[in-house]
Amino acid sequence: MSIRKDKIVVVDVEATCWENYKAPAGQENEIIEIGVCLLDVADFSISDKRSLLVRPINSVVSSFCTKLTTLTQMQLEREGTTYAEACAVLERDYDTRNRLWASWGSFDHNIMHDQCKRRNVRYPFSKKHANLKRVFQDQHGSRLGLRVALEVLGLQQVGVPHRGDDDAYNVAVVLATLMRLHGREILRRYGL
């Protein structure tokens, strides 16, 4: 499968969560925010930073989740869209089915796949996904969290941690830095 090589779609997903990772009976982890931005492969500029808020339907935002993400149940009910609509925005506005997409770790990839299956929604991304935590490990020898990876590279974290758009932007900054330091070849295995 050939993909467009002009930009990389960088994604960070936030989901309902609970202390000790234990969902209450009848609830499940589900996506409440998809943060996205584009990284230009030619000049490493970052654009189109966006937060897509998603209304949960099988869970309620816990106080732990609000403390972590700043997102509230009321905010998502008022400002959120459906998961299907958020996926349609990704395809339409970011051409996600025809570009490499990247995230920090495999959580985002896995939860997007799972939620698409559970909701019978077309998967909005190409099959080309780059796990940037692994890419960082390949170059720097350790598998770190995003905040520590930024520090290792001498970068400042921007925005609010655990907000999708800010985390997607920070992941894009890490990727741009890695590509400047080590070349685009670090993404060869992902089809770039």
What tens digit of pLDDT does each residue of 156-187 get?
999 999 999 999 999 999 999 999 999 999 99
10 Å Cβ neighbour count for 94?
22
Assigned domain for 1 exists:
no
3-class DSSP assignment, residue 84: helix
Q: Is the residue at 133 inside a domain?
A: yes
Q: What is the pLDDT of residue 177?
A: 97
Asked if 151 and 3 count as a contact pair (C-beta separation under 8 A), the reply is no
With respect to residue 98, please indicate whether it lies within any of the assigned structural domains. Answer: yes
Q: What is the mean pLDDT of residues 30-59?
A: 97
Residue 15: predicted pLDDT: 98
Whether residue 159 lies inside any domain: the answer is yes
Report the Cα 122 to chain-centroid distance in Å: 18
Q: What is the CATH number of the domain that holds 168?
A: 3.30.420.10
Q: Is residue 190's pLDDT more than 90?
A: no
Range of the domain at 174: 9-190
Domain count, the chain: 1
What confidence tens digit (pLDDT) does each residue in 90-147 have? 999 999 999 999 999 999 999 999 999 999 999 999 999 999 999 999 998 877 899 9
132-140 helix and 164-182 helix, angle to the nearest 10 degrees: 40
User: Which is nearest to 192 in space by CA: 1, 24, 18, 19?
Assistant: 1
Would 32 be classed as within a structural domain? yes
Identify whether the C-beta of residue 33 lies closer than 8 Å to the C-beta of residue 69: yes
| 4 in a structural domain | no
Residue 3 forms part of a structural domain: no
Per-residue pLDDT tens digits for 75-105: 999 999 999 999 999 999 999 999 999 999 9
